[in-house]
Structure 1
Amino acid sequence: MTRVFINDFAVMSRLGMNREETLASLNSPSPPRPDEQFELVDGETTMIARLPGQLADAPSARTRTNQMASDLLGQMQPQLDWMKATFGADRIAVIVGTSTTGIEESLGSLKGRMEAGEWPEGFELKDQELGDLAHHIGAAVGAEGTQYTISTACTSATKAMISGARLIRTGIADAVICGGIDSFSRLTVNGFHALSSVSAGQCSPFGAGRDGINIGEGGALFILSREPSEWEVAGGSESSDAHHMSAPDPTGAQAERAVRDAMDQAGTNPDEVDFVHMHGTGTPLNDEAEAGLVMRVFGADTPAMSTKGMTGHTLGAAGGLQVAINMICMEAGVYPPHVFNGDRDETLAPIRLSEIGETADAPLVTSLCASYAFGGSNAALVLRRVSS
């Protein structure tokens, strides 16, 4: 099977606006957490996790999601220039995940139409179309290959990376810009509240009394190609529960299938995986099913964690953010910290949750990222550090 490598990446979230700030937060004895109280339409409140800094100017970006994309691309400019010079514009694809695009901006336009009877000047429907993000990135970098957006809720970014690797292996593209980005939207937060899925306070993945998620915003973009580098997308797999529109299959059977298939692709056994970056939303059903899955596949000794207690749930960007955090931590020789209320739910399978500040005794070579979504969508990706 053709090997696919990550030649560069950029990341932003509640943890920081770039890789350096993200590492500093991950190494902090008190990592950032969702800390902004947000009032919902029914008067109740939840915590959210916005970006901690200002975005770079991007005149061509009409939405916050696209502005975030432009900022992330700017962080990879030298590698983007190399990519275009090496492969040519027509051999560069863009496959990204999102769930919000320009929905927040469209809410303001909709209010204007309801009050004035017509759409405000400058309103364009394409701003909220799911394909807009991929098209914006393609235009920004001058890519002329295949371009599309994946929107499968919380597996979107992971599926985008798996799809990007597939385009390279099948020869459809020589390089792919992939990952995921989601910006904050009032509609999204209230929608999850309508499903009784948001926490009244700070989310607590795998914690006793956990009551839901905190919505966050963030994103991560990656450059994939066959050109060897330090990081390899060693395996990736997808599956579907066909169980329920919003609740996961409590057996975790199809989620487990995705995890095992991803490891088979990578030629990796469970005991060779240094740590597992779990989806870990902080909802009762997700954490119960996922703890059981991790216990069955990896046992009680493999470090496992959810970073959503720091970043919040970034929805369509979540899987890409996990991969970026894994790369940052593997290079630094530390485990991503599992941050929650500290009161572990003892009724869950006794997996090993990583601690804040926990360092590895040996180089971290292989990690796995798992993503699960509404509709029974599952995706898993194995990341390997080629040199350590």
Structure 2
Amino acid sequence: MATYLTDLGLVNALGAGQKAVGQALFAGQRALTPCDWVPGRQTYTAAVTADLAPLPDALSPLRSRNAQLAVTALTQISSTIELALERYGAERVAVVAGTSTSGIAEGEAAIKALQQTGRLPASYDYRQQEIGNLSALVAGFTGAAGPAYTLSTACSSSAHALGSAKRLLDAGLADAVIAGGADSLCRLTVNGFAALDSVSVEPCVPFSVNRAGINIGESAAFFLVTREPLLHDIELLGVGASSDAHHISAPDPSGAGAEAAIRAALAAAQCRLDDVDYINLHGTGTPLNDAMESAVVARLFGHQPFCSSSKGQVGHTLGAAGATEVALCWLALIESCAPPHVWDNSPDPALPELQLAQHNSLLLPASPRVLLSHSFAFGGNNAVVVLGDSRA
């Protein structure tokens, strides 16, 4: 059954909206800036600087930066969502959202105020930081009244949300799904990754011999997923998942779980390995992840499709990364060019050589085109999304 990513709203450190993000993406712009949140050391983060949409008063208990990021993205596709609500009925429009930080930053601010004043701020509501609140927020903001739930599987959260959206449509439980994710910057996650020695003190350089870790970013990306192309006819061809449980934070160096997810996604899409034209790599810039991923890609894709990691531009947006990077693939199909791999141009001789996309907006092959997006999370929780031109 055909499934369409019929419209896209997004905001990240490169900008807000398809046009702004696309221009900065294909120009190879970096949006990483210094951050002093880790005591005794510097790192870089990718914060959103675009103006964020306000929340309606009715949703004030859920008010947070995370919520504003989500609403900013959703506002961009409000007319297409309204079309779906009118066409199918609100009870036939579902919501699946992925996140990992929710409103933790608001919880941090509340605890700080409690320590300083002895009381929590009047504006604080525990629901602001409850992990499951994102789907309720999206449903409340858009008027969708179908099934609504939140997934939180670390860095694969919103990639799994797209897989869940497709399953809801295939099972006839909805006629349209608002699917994606949002994550906002907070000190807890920046310092948590620093405690794991996973944070780079310089802008991250995935697959470089100089790579030393991640830079955390924030973003929101939401698709309207349908069985018919209400606006755009880009297809969600398939989603594959695996859970290898190799280690709580380190990837399985053999890449068995990653390979299983890739093969499952392509099988669901009824595509072959050599059909793939471009891969958005998970590409965190950590030594172990990049070594594992490059080995898997080199082993499976002998025809060397173009590859790039977007984390050198927008950072690692954690629970929003899956949907954000599928969104960048969606823009690549719209613009017919491959996002460049932004790094220091210093290959690691210990890694297999990949066909990393350059800054000159390389055109993708003629239609039909098949793109992959990799998301590999803590605990070996892997998700791979396949999208491409319509086959109708």
- Which of 55-64 and 119-128 deviates more? 55-64
Q: Which amino acid aligns with 2:40?
A: G
Q: Which amino acid aligns with 1:63?
A: S
> Structure 1 residue aligned with 2:371, among 339, 356, 367?
367
The SS at the match of 2:15 is coil
1:85 corresponds to:
86
CA–CA distance in structure 2, aligned partners of residues 124 and 58 of structure 1: 15
The SS at the match of 1:328 is helix
Percent identity reads: 40
The SS at the match of 1:331 is helix
CA–CA distance in structure 2, aligned partners of residues 41 and 230 of structure 1: 44
Root-mean-square deviation over aligned CA pairs: 1.5
1:337 corresponds to:
340
2:4 corresponds to:
5
1:144 corresponds to:
145
| Residue 280 of structure 1 pairs with residue 283 of structure 2 | yes
Question: When the two structures are superposed, what TM-score results if normalisation uses the length of structure 2?
Answer: 0.95
2:352 corresponds to:
349
CA–CA distance in structure 2, aligned partners of residues 371 and 77 of structure 1: 27
2:315 corresponds to:
312
Question: When the two structures are superposed, what TM-score results if normalisation uses the length of structure 1?
Answer: 0.96
CA–CA distance in structure 1, aligned partners of residues 270 and 38 of structure 2: 49
1:170 corresponds to:
171
Q: Which amino acid aligns with 1:25?
A: A
> Structure 1 residue aligned with 2:42, among 45, 53, 58?
45
CA–CA distance in structure 2, aligned partners of residues 212 and 239 of structure 1: 24
Structure 1 residues 185 and 32: CA distance shift in structure 2, 3 A: same
2:241–2:384 Cα contact (<8 Å) kept: yes
1:300–1:352 Cα contact (<8 Å) kept: no
- Which of 143-152 and 59-68 deviates more? 59-68
* Offset of residue 230 of structure 1: 1.1
1:300–1:350 Cα contact (<8 Å) kept: no
Structure 1 residues 317 and 191: CA distance shift in structure 2, 3 A: same
The SS at the match of 1:57 is coil
* Offset of residue 242 of structure 1: 1.4
- How many residues end up aligned between the 2 structures? 385
CA–CA distance in structure 2, aligned partners of residues 97 and 296 of structure 1: 30
CA–CA distance in structure 1, aligned partners of residues 128 and 361 of structure 2: 43
CA–CA distance in structure 2, aligned partners of residues 243 and 117 of structure 1: 44
Q: Deviations over 1:318-357 (max 9, x none)?
A: 1111111111112212111100111111210111111112
1:10–1:73 Cα contact (<8 Å) kept: yes
| Residue 296 of structure 1 pairs with residue 299 of structure 2 | yes
CA–CA distance in structure 2, aligned partners of residues 6 and 362 of structure 1: 20
Gaps in structure 2 of 5+ consecutive residues: none
The SS at the match of 2:307 is strand
1:176–1:224 Cα contact (<8 Å) kept: yes
Q: Which amino acid aligns with 2:360?
A: G
The SS at the match of 1:274 is strand
CA–CA distance in structure 1, aligned partners of residues 315 and 216 of structure 2: 5
CA–CA distance in structure 2, aligned partners of residues 27 and 354 of structure 1: 11
> Structure 1 residue aligned with 2:31, among 14, 30, 33?
33
1:24 corresponds to:
23
* Offset of residue 142 of structure 1: 1.0
* Offset of residue 33 of structure 1: 3.4
Q: Deviations over 1:36-59 (max 9, x none)?
A: 211134220101111131112334
2:274–2:303 Cα contact (<8 Å) kept: no
Q: Which amino acid aligns with 2:268?
A: Q
* Offset of residue 153 of structure 1: 0.6
Q: Which amino acid aligns with 1:252?
A: G
After the TM superposition, list the runs of 4 or more consecutive aligned residues in structure 1 that deviate by more than 3 angstroms: none
